[in-house]
Structure 1
């Protein structure tokens, strides 16, 4: 599974783009709890690019042969039936608060999307997802089919309030499994494990006791040191007082053999690869800025086995704070970040009016797909997709797969950000490669 933006996703230059539009009655079911992160995300309101997506090419599709759309739609409805969050919708109450209700998602129809002059299929896909997967849409997810040269491509998009990166793997696994079952005339999804709804996780988290005093105090210290906001990128990004068009760079840092050697190197130092990578980033940041590494770090909350096959936003923000580049210190910093993100954030952030952010926010994400308990069938060529949209901050994703390690970085399109982020990212990639005795590798734009 690679990660890229929709603008860099390898779709044909010409082709037919269609999507399956489910029918949702106006009536609502019972009200469900809204998680802290859902409330922040949805509370910003409708806007393009609030979605996450995944694109893949099912092997059951044959190049040049029309797809059985009724079968694909039936498989998608079976996926929707499995995951409660796909049968919910957000609204705003009379008090302005974000609310969540159960909805019915009934059979609908396929719609062809005619491109405007000069639009590529990727542009059409983004346009559909921007409108269909906005926070208040009912439902705020959509299944698309792109047919052109080669094997047809399926794209699944959903507003981020309902999914995380792990969830996208689950959706691909479930859809391809159910599609195979329907083609073989088996009971769809009979071998897939039953899964609870994400709203149950939200309720359990809200019922937890308050965080220990030392955790709340540590959050206060981190925010104070960062000027009362979440950490920002430590080098100049230029004028980011307003969102700028985004730049997305994808760097292939290590191939499969080099990644195995990198894991061995981390083991020699008594750590995993993440603390070793944090060590490299901390050293680079100190060398370039004289400041420690401080960044927002998403951490997951799928701590119990029952959530491993569930779909939802099982991610919350924490902070990685590393002052020294030695690996044991960085391992402790990673551990602390996990602890800080393991308690309900709503009461911790209440004195700040929610998660306090500022232009230039710096975030680091780490996902080792090889360690996830979700296995995809071979040959799908899957990509995790995000929108191309204006941004004010820097987001770095490290992705580890069977074919190696790559990093994806999004930042504002300003001359200063090009220079600053480019220098930081180049130094980090070179530092990682140096740990396994490999020469510098200048990154290429995806």
Structure 2
């Protein structure tokens, strides 16, 4: 899985077509939402740009429209999270009966004769269609060619997480080509379970309070001096590069195991070494149970962790972070003695996915939309090639210099950890 962003996206020329889903003759029912979804909708209601995520893959020959639209309808039937209609103003959702969803074409303006316009054209379509204030907040796009065609399926973030994008690529490709799929779990059922009250006490809550007291209840800010004034934002720019090749990452994994931590722990530690200090950072943590392995939805919670230059301490830091992931995040926040403080709209976040553990799809990509930025966010993805890092940051001279320095020094610290 190639992880990129809309500002770096390239699509070969072809015949662009698009489809959406339209409800017909049924009354949707109220549906439960996760705290990530509620926060996302609250952000949209406040006027902040929504972020879409898209799964793309390739198929042989020109697009068979009937087979693709039937596969799309089957995808909506398969995953209940794609049946949701969102209301940002009330942070609520309704769920449609998939038997009453009809797939219809999206009218497109005439194509330009200029080469290389497909990505901006598709990007503009997803910007328009994948907004949480509309139903559906997703769209299907195909770029048909005689030899090899591209399929794009984009969603507002409220429908999916990064893991789900890989599943969407696999499932839609399988449904289009007639391959078999495992049974999918239910996101709605899992969220209903998260909504049950739990005891806001014990080691997990003590760990949360200990961490937040140490950072004065402030959300993490990146060590990069971006030059963005307080309260301001800048156009997003994306950097994507190979942080460490497969051999180096394999060796780093051995070093991590010898130090009692994981590959992700070693990556966080070497990042902290690149900065030269212990850093607080937010990390997304999967909440999927084994029965959710093939389910699409926003199955993550977010926890704080210390990124520590001392690799021997990272195992304990991650253990405490996993402990913080046990209680539902909304119940954690409701139990805090004082609210969290945010110095930036964006939080300093490092995400990690090992795509070698997720079924592969031909030429699959995860593409994220763009939005104004005021801090640095990092997505690490491990593939057969090694570990890639996609960095989102504001388009300022200071951020350019700081991000480039951080990534180059980080890569050097990884190689140093392996040598030592």
TM-score (norm 2): 0.90
Structure 2 residue 264 is matched with structure 1 residue 263: no
| Contact 2:139–2:155, Cα closer than 8 Å, also in 1 | yes
Matched, 1:284 2:274: yes
Deviations 1:74-114 (A, max 9, x none): 0111111110011111125xxx5311111145223223533
Which moved further from structure 2: 355-364 or 427-436? 355-364
SS of match in other structure, 1:138:
coil
**Partner of 1:342 in structure 2?**
326
Q: What is the CA–CA distance in structure 2 between the aligned matches of 1:194 and 1:354, rounded to whole Å?
A: 41
Q: CA deviation at 1:235?
A: 3.2
Quote the residue 1:84 is aligned against.
80
Name 2:54's counterpart in structure 1: 53
Given candidates 220, 223, 236, the residue that maps to 1:234 is 223
Corresponding residue number in structure 2 for 1:98: 91
Structure 1 residues 109-144: Cα deviation after superposition (integer angstroms, max 9, x where no partner): 223533579782111111111121111221112111
Point out the more displaced range, 405-414 or 212-221.
Answer: 212-221
Say whether the 8 Å CA contact 1:51–1:157 is kept in structure 2.
yes
Counterpart Cα distance in 1 of 2:383 and 2:409: 22
State the superposition RMSD in angstroms: 2.5
Q: Offset of 1:203 from its aligned partner?
A: 1.0
Determine the C-alpha separation between the residues in 2 that align with 1:421 and 1:8: 17
CA contact (8 A) 2:51 2:371 kept: no
The answer (yes or no) to whether the contact 2:243–2:407 under 8 Å persists in 1 is no
1:403 to 379, 385, 388: 385
Q: 1:104 to 1:218 in 2, by over 3 A?
A: same
Query: 1:121 is matched with which residue: 118, 122, 131?
Result: 118
Q: Does 1:108 align with 2:94?
A: no
Displacement of 1:330 after TM fit? 0.9
Question: Residues of 2 paired with 1:260 and 1:224: CA distance?
Answer: 36
Gap change, CA 1:368 and 1:100, over 3 Å in 2: same
* 2:20 counterpart residue number: 21
Tell whether the 8 Å contact from 1:211 to 1:344 is kept in structure 2 after alignment.
no
**How far, CA to CA, are the matches of 1:367 and 1:224 in structure 2?**
29
Q: Taking structure 1 as reference, are residues 116 and 265 closer, same or farther at Cα in structure 2, changes over 3 Å only?
A: same
State yes or no: 1:169 paired with 2:166. Answer: yes
Corresponding position of 2:196 = 207
The residue that corresponds to 1:357 in the other structure is 342
1:7 is matched with which residue? 7
Q: Does 1:370 align with 2:356?
A: yes
- Residue ranges of structure 1 left out of the alignment (5+ in a row): 182-188, 439-446
CA shift for structure 1 position 248: 0.7
Cα distance in structure 1, aligned partners of 2:15 and 2:317? 49
1:317 pairs with 2:305: no
Provide the aligned length of Structure 1 versus Structure 2: 411
Secondary structure of the residue aligned to 1:45 is helix
Q: What SS class does the counterpart of residue 141 from structure 2 fall into?
A: strand
| Structure 2: runs of 5+ lacking an equivalent | none
Distance 1:42 1:356 in 2: 20
Aligned to 1:444: none
The alpha-carbon deviation at position 48 of structure 1 amounts to: 4.4
> How many Å separate the matches in 2 of 1:422 and 1:367?
22
**Distance in structure 1 (CA, Å) of the matches to 2:234 and 2:26:** 39
User: What CA deviation, in whole Å up to 9, does each residue of 1:347-390 have, x standing for no partner?
Assistant: 2213589765331521101111123xx3124xx11111111221
Task: Indicate the SS of the match to 1:44.
Answer: helix
Indicate the SS of the match to 2:55.
strand
**Is contact 1:50-1:135 (8 Å) kept?**
no
Greater displacement, 107-116 / 390-399: 107-116
CA distance in 2, matches of 1:434, 1:153: 40
Q: d(CA) in 1 for partners of 2:339 and 2:83?
A: 27
Question: Are positions 1:308 and 2:293 aligned together?
Answer: yes
**In the aligned structure 1, how far is the partner of 2:312 from the partner of 2:200?**
26
Shift of 1:227: 4.0
- 3-state SS of the aligned residue for 1:130? helix
> Does the 8 A contact of 2:372 with 2:394 survive in 1?
yes
Instruction: Give the 3-state SS of the residue equivalent to 2:127 in structure 1.
Output: helix
User: Partner residue of 2:29?
Assistant: 30
Structure 2 residue 72 is matched with structure 1 residue 72: no
State the TM-score, normalizing by the size of structure 1: 0.85
Q: How far, CA to CA, are the matches of 1:333 and 1:141 in structure 2?
A: 38
SS in 1 for 2:418: coil
